[in-house]
Amino acid sequence: MTSLDLLASSRSVEIKKIAQKLGFLDCRVAKASELTNDARRLEAWLNNGHHGQMEYMANHFDLRINPTKLVPGAKSVIVLSKNYFTKSTQHIEAPKLSKYAYGRDYHKVIRKAMKVFLKEMQQSFGEVHGRGFVDSAPVLEKAWARESGLGWVGKHSNIISKSAGSFFFLAVLITDLELESDAPIKDYCGSCTKCIDACPTDAINNPYYVDGSKCISYYTIELKNSELPDSMKGKFDNWMFGCDICQDVCPWNRFSKPHSESDFNPKPEILDFKLEDWAHLSEEKFNELFAGSAVKRTGYNGLTRNIRFLINPLGKAID
């Protein structure tokens, strides 16, 4: 091993210590190279219209596959994960929120931590340039998580860790710092098809391939200014924002442990709200409950549209 290799290795050890100190679940490194195979898969997915009305997915294609377009001189891609698993549950009859939306908007929480992360890197290694991304820019976070060995892509298309399951957020920091890369790991899904079998809208129509335009999360979050299709009535399993079905049934999530991030804790009212409370949700109450929350993405009109879709005038869930 050369002196440069030793330096890259020691730097990788140091950044993982920094990540652990800042409360990240895991930290891995991939070489900043072009994602050629992922580019072909993304292109086919877009050509098949599986992004639905998410037109932004087709934008900045070259930036998604080449990290040097985002950070000139990029050498390494640091992949971070942040646990959001919780055992907290809503009232049994209430329309459901995805676990990730229980607390403060993860974009804000992780972005703040990544700024500190980069600052500490600069204090440790001198002049370092980098950009952090949290699910809000043309970056293929799952592909980088796979390349870095943070986990493998499950049949539901989420990243799975052998030690932590899949209830975690991903963040990527592209940097011009030379680091020792980690190796990808094998796929441990085996012959399991629980996520495919459990999806009520057949969004996972083939292993490892999700038709985003059929996903409950797409309908309840991304589909804007439109009523939900009658063909989907009775298929949402009472989800009003997002969906956790494919993760809830995944055997690897028996290894998920509750997070320790106070910002991700739900307001007690959100857990206590009953069906009738959601059915009569006012805009004022929506703003109070979801101030600083990812639920703001769908807005009051979007969430109440979803709730109406789930309940009839008597306030009972549709069979």
Whole-angstrom Cα distance, residue 211 to residue 215? Answer: 7
Asked if 187 is an active-site residue, the reply is no
Q: CB of 134 within 8 A of CB of 110?
A: yes
Report which residue type is found at 111: R
Out of 135, 176, 237, 263, pick the active-site residue: 135
Q: What Cα–Cα distance (Å) separates residue 208 from each residue in 77, 144, 155, 179, 243?
A: 23, 16, 4, 30, 17
Whole-angstrom Cα distance, residue 149 to residue 300? Answer: 39
Angle between helices 3-21 and 106-125 (to 10 degrees): 140
Q: What angle do CA 225, 227, 229 make, to 5 degrees?
A: 135
Q: CB of 266 within 8 A of CB of 258?
A: no
Q: CB of 162 within 8 A of CB of 188?
A: yes
Which residues are known catalytic residues? 135
